[in-house]
A and B are shown apart, each in its own frame.
Chain A
């Protein structure tokens, strides 16, 4: 009787447990993918102030500020507005108005193009601070829910007020947005709002970051388990929480190792811009995986490759070849075998990448920049446009994945500094209109007030971009052997001993030699026994 009971328990207990487990998983699956947002407490189409008509976008802002009285002031205190950032660790003044990058260089001298992504209207001269008027704040770029609002790329942050051709020479006309309809349909920021600037950094879709491009507007689960409508359908702001319009999460001073764990309201920092703030710091059912969290960032295993959504990212940009024209004096466009531009007379040579395996480095969250007035070590290129700090001995550092942007850009051979480049502008000095580096660099210097000796050359540069988005479902995370193997992703990183990757060559040689000698001894001894036994019996 007892035995029968046990038999039944074994026979049915296991499948029953499995069914219960599967059921629990399915139910929890429904629970997460069915998560809805709470209904809004206001229907903006019912507000008189938003009925219009609006002459221009600034009028909409004024209407917004009529109720949201503090929003304009709040925005003007954010990095989104000031484009400056005082780094608490390095003391450097960073931000888009200060740093030089390895894409188009600096925003200054290229204002109407670069400041088209400013969260305001009419910042046409970056030698001045952004316009101070209350109605110069752009509410709609972040809060439009119709998808029809678009800051025209060359109007210093304004949408177009009349039909305009874009891209230049394409014959495609962009219509002015329907401001009344948009104003009546404002709401919380979605992926497309943030993406309208952050997906297009560097001049086009996916160019800059590698883990941010338009494929994240409507990503499949395999691309981003959190942002996919088939997954959790997160908006950027669900992790990049805000506090009076201050958005959490910084690339200049990242939270490389969030040891606070799950953020409990009232107890911690309210910021959800880290994996740990929801998942805690021991999220795996297997303890051995949790043992890795003091060394690895979550992203290192959970973002196995970037630029996975079908949009390529720029990996190499050689400005030194820009300016080559065809026999008719016309600019040239060449494409690689995947259809990505590989040469533009305006910009030089490119290499693009999709499904790119990241580069890994120790990172404590602090990024130090080579600023435009800083003297370079020109004898030892490449020049690091930025450096990520961190080391294996620092308990606050983790191994992080990065996109490493490489290329060549102009520098002053006498002053040995990088140079601001005047690339954009309908004048006779900008590189993109005239294809002349001497003119463009001279104008860059004059317009920005930054010194230039007149002598220039091109130097190889690198720039690190932390990878944190495009997290696929857990089953697509890296397997152990991606690192625990001789051909390891982490090869060359200091301060780690990984079984399967590291070892001692001499220990192995001596070990296997002794094993081989033992085997040989055994075989010889055995053979001798057989031979001599045969002789004896004969």
Chain B
């Protein structure tokens, strides 16, 4: 066993700041959607836009970081061991089996995580951003765009993506508690360090 830095400082900052922004966006977004009334529509819309811009800037940095550090490779999907991991979450976790995946600094996400995060990064987020930016700049659409696309379509896609985001968050937060102890998976995301078995 050795204690290694598994989540670097920027990565942790990115993760938690993104979490804060996504929670804010969900909270204000569903108010704008009309699901409840807490802040008032105008304030919710203002904060929603503000948080969206912050998240976009954060992502620009994150994309730069992923490319320059090569960390993007962490998300390359693999079938190797995927079913073992799925089996663990469905059965093994109840029968006391050990997690089938051995984390290393170069492959810190198990195959199921890779798929989930890749889906998050390549599907949910781009859809929510693109629809969100179209929504925000609805008044500046060129005539060619407004001829073929209705605001309602954009709004419904944005809403659907928000539901997908909410569902992702619920599952993600729950699965973060599924380490040996409730906090064993969350702690490294705070401190950066985790005790890993020495790589083979």
Show the binding face of A for B, using Cβ within 8 Å. 288, 291, 294, 479-481, 484-486, 497, 499-504, 507-508, 510-512, 514-515, 518-519, 522, 525-526, 528-529, 532-533, 536
Contact = CB atoms under 8 A, between A and B. Distances in A.
Contact of A480 (B45, B152, B160, B174): B45
B56 interface: no
Interface-centre pick from B34, B37, B152, B160 (highest chain A CB count, 10 A)? B34
B96 A518 contact: no
A317 B114 CA distance: 71
Contact of B41 (A480, A504, A514, A533): A480
B138 A480 contact: no
Contacts of A484: 32, 34, 41
B32 A499 contact: yes
A497 B34 contact: no
A537 to B, nearest CB: 9
Contact of A507 (B93, B138, B139, B156): B156
Given A486-B34, A497-B151, A502-B152, A518 B171 contact: yes
A507 B160 contact: yes
B163 interface: yes
A536 B34 contact: no
From DSSP, what is the main secondary structure of chain B's interface residues? Answer: helix
A504 B40 contact: no
Nearest to A501: B34
A515 B166 contact: yes
Nearest to A522: B174
Given A481-B37, A497-B150, A526 B159 contact: no
A525 B37 contact: no
A503 B95 contact: no
B155 interface: yes
B42 A511 contact: no
A511 B151 contact: no
A529 B96 CA distance: 9
A528 B32 contact: no
Contact of B94 (A507, A510, A532): A532
Contact of B40 (A480, A511, A526): A480
A354 B178 CA distance: 63
B167 interface: yes
A501 B152 CA distance: 12
B32 A500 contact: yes
Given A480-B40, A481-B41, A499-B34, A514 B163 contact: yes
B122 interface: no
Contact of A502 (B49, B138, B155, B178): B155
B33 interface: yes
B100 to A, nearest CB: 17
Given A481-B40, A497-B150, A532-B94, A503 B34 contact: yes
A316 B166 CA distance: 51
Given A479-B40, A529-B94, A511 B32 contact: no
A71 to B, nearest CB: 47
Contact of B163 (A497, A515, A529, A533): A515
Given A291-B139, A502-B155, A514-B167, A479 B94 contact: no
B1 interface: no
A145 B123 CA distance: 72
Contacts of B33: 499-500, 503
A485 B41 contact: yes
B67 interface: no
Contacts of A533: 96
Contact of A504 (B45, B138, B156): B156
A502 B40 CA distance: 17
B99 to A, nearest CB: 13
A533 B171 CA distance: 21
Given A480-B40, A525-B174, 8 more contacts: A485-B34, A486-B34, A499-B33, A499-B45, A502-B152, A503-B159, A504-B159, A519-B170
A49 B178 CA distance: 101
A516 to B, nearest CB: 10
Interface in B31-54: 32-34, 37, 40-42, 45, 49
A503 B41 CA distance: 15
A503 B37 CA distance: 16
Give the 7 A-B residue pairs with the shortest CB-CB distance, closest first: A511-B163, A480-B41, A480-B42, A291-B139, A522-B174, A500-B34, A481-B41
A179 B59 CA distance: 79
Contacts of B34: 484-486, 499-501, 503
Contacts of B171: 518, 522
A501 B37 CA distance: 12
A291 B138 contact: yes
A481 B44 CA distance: 11
30 contacts: A288-B45, A294-B139, A479-B41, A480-B40, A480-B41, A480-B42, A481-B40, A484-B32, A485-B34, A486-B34, A497-B150, A497-B155, A499-B32, A500-B32, A503-B34, A504-B159, A507-B160, A507-B163, A508-B159, A510-B163, A511-B159, A511-B162, A511-B163, A515-B170, A518-B171, A525-B174, A529-B93, A529-B94, A529-B178, A536-B96
Interface in B141-183: 150-152, 155-156, 159-160, 162-163, 166-167, 170-171, 174, 177-178
Contact of A511 (B95, B160, B170): B160
A214 B152 CA distance: 45
A3 B172 CA distance: 41
B151 to A, nearest CB: 5
Interface-centre pick from B41, B49, B95, B159 (highest chain A CB count, 10 A)? B41
A383 to B, nearest CB: 34
A102 B161 CA distance: 52
A533 B162 CA distance: 35
Nearest to B138: A291
Contacts of A519: 170
B41 A500 contact: yes
Contacts of A481: 37, 40-42
A351 B44 CA distance: 40
B57 to A, nearest CB: 19
A528 to B, nearest CB: 6
Contacts of B155: 497, 499, 502-503
B167 A518 contact: yes
A511 B34 CA distance: 14
Contacts of A512: 163
